[in-house]
Amino acid sequence: MAGAADFDLYRPSEEHDMLRDSVRSLAEAKIAPFATAVDEEARFPQEALDALVANDLHAVHVPESYGGAGADALATCIVIEEVARVCCSSSLIPAVNKLGSLPVILSGSEDLKAKYLGPLAKGDAMFSYCLSEPDAGSDAGGMKTRAVRDGDAYVLNGVKRWITNAGVSDYYTVMAVTDPEKKTRGGVSAFVVEKGDEGVSFGAPEKKLGIKGSPTREVYLDNVRIPADRMIGAEGTGFATAMATLDHTRITIAAQALGVAQGALDYAKGYVRERKQFGKPIGDFQGVQFMLADMAMKLEAARQLTYAAAARSERVALGADGKGEDLTFYGAAAKCYASDAAMEITTDAVQLLGGYGYTRDYPLERMMRDAKITQIYEGTNQVQRIVMARNLP
């Protein structure tokens, strides 16, 4: 797939446009028909996983050298965006596969990459990311999960909370404290934990407002003994890896927000053309037209910011040191702006359908519920504003 040099900062390449068309067709044919049932039944979207794996779209970010498609950051965003347009829960398959595996890509040894990225690329496994804990959410540095060296192994104990796709994923990137005295400045390390490791178990699925098809569960680590070579990077580098990962993956949450907002806008546009009141389509009324114009304007602004951030992500990933790219700022800005816009757009879309929008007979109330989480996970938008303020370009 295209590299960073193949697309302009604000204009995707022809290859990206073709990818969008193909993913949209697949999503509408194979994922959309099950979106309502997935939400109503709060079940994992297996149909979406099967369709994405069959078309090599479940983890497009994995480099070609490990059997993946080698998609650039923008292409990955487009895949997530188009899946989220029809089913936000399903878009968490490619999004979280990137989140969970990116620490391995950024900091893992070649042996670790070969061992875990290959099965991910083939669709034989999924990856999740374990950073948050019951008492460590926005304050990720307050984590208590411990990893203690014992000969040629580490023994992990602790609880991770709000873990997306927990219980379904086979692999977990786990952040744990290896030196309590150093805290975030060299005291946290990253590890790959497997679902089948002795001592790994999961809590009951959370009963959520939205993204009900993506299981969110606690991960329990009870004397989990893993080989020392499953450490990602050197001891003490885990927190830096975690933060570098989020610089890149917050952009995928922005893409998810774009997708659900686009789906809501598309549905609302079709509705106002057909719904008649006072003898004409409600889309002919200026008040409705102004709402649609504002929705489209906010969405396009969010898309441009997200794609600009994706371009920066790709340039950093290709070997730049990040200086001059301001990736931390742009990743936070894209996630924050796009998710705020998605919440506004989906809410306005519900309003345009009136009473119908408030019922489960139409998809907009689901989209509005799904959009809310994009303002919360991978750092609340309040935290994003703190991040931006500290990294002003």
DSSP for 273-286, written as a single string: HH-EETTEEGGGSH
Fold (CATH) for 4-126: Butyryl-Coa Dehydrogenase, subunit A; domain 1 (1.10.540)
Catalytic: 325?
A: no
187 vs 1: CA distance, rounded Å: 38
Q: Which residue has the tokens 């989209």?
A: 367
Q: Which residue has the tokens 């830096």?
A: 240
Show the tokens assigned to 229: 């070579």
Question: Does residue 344 contact residue 296 with C-beta atoms inside 8 Å?
Answer: no
- Residue 375 pLDDT: 98
Looking at residue 152, its amino acid is D
130 vs 169: CA distance, rounded Å: 12
CATH number 3.30.70.360 given to 239-390: no
CATH C-level class of 128-236: mainly beta
Question: Does residue 189 contact residue 183 with C-beta atoms inside 8 Å?
Answer: no
- Residue 319 pLDDT: 67
Question: Does residue 371 contact residue 343 with C-beta atoms inside 8 Å?
Answer: yes
Show the tokens assigned to 155: 């023994």
- Residue 76 pLDDT: 98
The SS3 assignment for 46 reads helix
Helix (H) or strand (E) holding 211: none
294 vs 365: CA distance, rounded Å: 19
R_g of the chain computed on alpha carbons: 21
Nearest Cα neighbor of 143 from 188, 173, 110 is 188
- Residue 8 pLDDT: 47
Tell whether the torsion through CA atoms of 293, 299, 305 and 311 is positive or negative. Answer: negative
Provide the 10 A C-beta neighbour count for residue 138. Answer: 12
Selecting among 82, 218, 325, 378, the annotated active-site residue is 378
Show the tokens assigned to 178: 């290896």
325 vs 190: CA distance, rounded Å: 26
Angle (deg, nearest 10), helices 364-373 and 32-41: 70
Residues of the chain within CATH 2.40.110.10 domain(s) are: 128-236
Question: Does residue 311 contact residue 330 with C-beta atoms inside 8 Å?
Answer: no
Half-sphere exposure in the Cβ direction for 159 (13 Å, CA): 11
- Residue 7 pLDDT: 45
Looking at residue 36, its amino acid is T
- Residue 202 pLDDT: 98
Instruction: Write the DSSP symbol of residue 379.
Output: S
Residues of the chain within CATH 1.10.540.10 domain(s) are: 4-126
Q: What is the pLDDT along the chain (393 residues), one digit of tens a residue?
A: 555 444 445 678 999 999 999 999 999 999 999 999 999 999 999 999 999 999 999 999 999 999 999 999 999 999 999 999 999 999 999 999 999 999 999 999 999 999 999 999 999 999 999 999 999 999 999 999 999 999 999 999 999 999 999 999 999 999 999 999 998 999 999 999 999 999 999 999 999 999 999 999 999 999 999 999 999 999 999 999 999 999 999 999 999 999 999 999 999 999 999 999 999 999 999 999 999 999 999 999 999 999 999 999 999 987 655 556 799 999 999 999 999 999 999 999 999 999 999 999 999 999 999 999 999 999 999 999 999 999 998
The SS3 assignment for 293 reads helix
Nearest Cα neighbor of 179 from 139, 143, 153 is 143
- Work out whether strand 231-232 and strand 216-227 pair parallel, antiparallel, or are unpaired: unpaired
Residues of the chain within CATH 1.20.140.10 domain(s) are: 239-390
Q: Which residue has the tokens 């307050």?
A: 142
Q: What angle do CA 307, 113, 217 make, to 5 degrees?
A: 70
Nearest Cα neighbor of 147 from 74, 224, 258, 208 is 224
